Structure 1
Amino acid sequence: MALGTILAAAFATALAVAPGSSSDNLKQQTIVETLEIAPPFILDNSEQVFFSEATIQRGDTLQRLLGRLNISDSDAASFLRSSPLTSAIRREFIAGRTAAASASGDGKLLSFYFPLGDKETALTIKRIGSEFRAEIVAERPEIHIETKTARIESSLFGATDAAGIPDSIAILMAEIFGSEIDFHSDLRKDDRFTVSYEMRYLQGQPIRTGKVVAAEFVNNGKTSRAIWFDHGNEQGEYLTPEGKPLRKAFLRSPLEFSRISSGFSRRFHPILKTWRAHQGVDYAAPTGTPIRATANASVDFVGTQRGYGKTVVLKHDGKHTTLYAHLSRFSPGVRKGARVNQGETIGYVGQTGWATGPHLHYEFRINNTPVNPLSAKLPIESASLDAKQLALFKQQSSAKLAALERMNESSIAYLE
């Protein structure tokens, strides 16, 4: 009862001091006060060092090359462009040559590596304070094997960037598994991969990547593995752990990276406005994107074909042909009867003929009948190893497989 009395009194007091419906007796006052706001925290990555490499393209300039190397440094560009010490770069600025560089997070050049044409020397440039030092050195790099793993969140390049894997290795992986995985349509979120690759170091600095020595890709629950089998004299091939050739006679896709805009099925034709059988696969890509031959072949046709526009037809053997349509232009040397190799550029994406936008129309034909290139069973390119070769391969591959296994185990433990 005493507690109830106290609570009642407290409640009554509260009611007594609470304002009523009228606020005439309340004094109102506006107070303005300046508050100090802490400055936003900006992540400073200028102390980080980033390594990259890029290949000189046809028609390239030094400025474009530096841009692909993530270098934004006017002092370095001026030194490379005008110093007598860097004349070798200007003299041998040739398409196909690969340069490498390390840069700070804000784009300042730290080191630059440019192999020379004699294949035994290279021009190296280092930043020393605010100055640059250039010298020609004998190319005797140390080769280190680096093994890294990553998980697909959005794209192959996004995953390799997050793991610190150079773009050149990502491209090599796409080529190695190109007959097993269509990197345009097959990638799934949470796919994962592990790769062991060569990294060449000169005077303690990374200068360029080498070949992939072993790789594993888990795509939609299916595991594919590739091991490099060295035949000597820098010749070799990628095999499965069982010693079976991994590379098929045909690549799954004629473009390295793009998206499929129309599959092998019936569709409503955007120009003819009728339902028609679509006897190929369309790959949307910017005009000028290189198109590669999906297999070794001879050129059966090069020219213009009505709705197909500029077209190339390749003849691979007695029953396999492929067609590439809507090209903007053909590669030099692509003419009827010429030989082309798998992966060789035969032309460039365009929108000639009946096309509403730039894309490549690709057809895969068996005995002149179009089949779906994404699901067709592809022939093996080469024969399996004999008993002696297989024994040698098993000996070479055991350590490479062990490195993949160790990285997988540590990655799974980390994720768990």
Structure 2
Amino acid sequence: MKKIILLMLLFISSLLSAEIKELPWPKGETFLTFLEKYTIPQKLYFDLEKEDKELASEIMAEQRYYLYENEDGTLNQVLIPVSDEIQLHIYEENGVYKFQTLPINYKEFTETIAVPITSSVSYDIQKATGNAALTAQLKAIFSGVNFRGMQKGDFVVIKYSQRSLLGRSFGLPDIKGAMVEVAGRKYYRFKSKKDDKYYDQKGVGFTKTYFFKVPLTYKRISSHFTKKRWHPVLKRYRAHLGTDFAAPRGRKIYAAGDGRIDFIGRRGGYGKTIIINHRNGYRTLYAHQNGFRKGLKRRQNVKKGQHIGYVGSTGLSSGPHLHFGLYKNGRAVNAMKVIRKPDTKGLKGKSKATFIANTKHYIKAFEEIIADENRAKATKLDRVTYKNDLNL
């Protein structure tokens, strides 16, 4: 642990003393082609453990990474985020390139902002916060509300958390509660900690429940989802951003939910892979397949339970199994916590009463910040930050 902390401090100090490049990961670039570009022996990759090879396949196009080159153009070190929690670190030590996985030391803040509408909700939120993703998240949780009906003088109030890395927004904002005013009429959404769903001030749910099915009949789970874990014996961080289902070669694989195929083909250490985009920001990944069902192609719609492929061990795999990945708004999540029977109960009894009582504190805070804005007749946004002490 001390060695890793020291390496991270050395990397940070190099950022301060040298020019660090922040670049988008190019489309079509793989971990191996990146190594080839910097004449780094590919043995570095092939010597990695299975979980680390799979992490190298998680690098997404346009993901921003951080590069430090030597004066002669060779690689000194690079940090490549593969999730909100973990990043790949390649660095040179005594003329030899080494690899490790490190936690991402991001900063996080929570604030409440009031944005008076002067032009459009997208323009005004972007101008006030510089965070384009915040508008997209807001519109997603207020589906059905006609934002085009907003008039000058209406307000949007949002309490949200945002991560940042090296001074830039990192990942998507997490909206805790919000109010949207349309032609003087106010709409509310609040996130419940009980189930991460959104409800209005009366406890009426507005998050459509989306359920997945296990994509095959399996013998056992050979490797569980692990976001970020310090291994006390290996003395390093490990991560496995999916669930491995052990099954015989050739067993049928089915789509876990309705969606559209976004990728079908080979994907680095994942071998033959299918990626399906679903509604509500979900995406599923099916890796190490032996082959695909005939006729499947990119942009094709599939139904939950539809046959899409066969279990195999293509790519870097120690035996036949399905590596199943589930992502929510680009963030890897534990599929086994999402694949479950529908919960039709919602908020009831004491949970609902507590939730409604807490939303009253939110609404009061929202009204106060709007009153402050109106009294000041501010021409620019004055941000007001509240403590994150409301426990919905």
* Structure-2-length-normalised TM-score: 0.41
* Structure-1-length-normalised TM-score: 0.39
Task: Pick the structure with greater CA Rg.
Answer: 1
Higher relative contact order (CA 8 A, sep 6+): 2
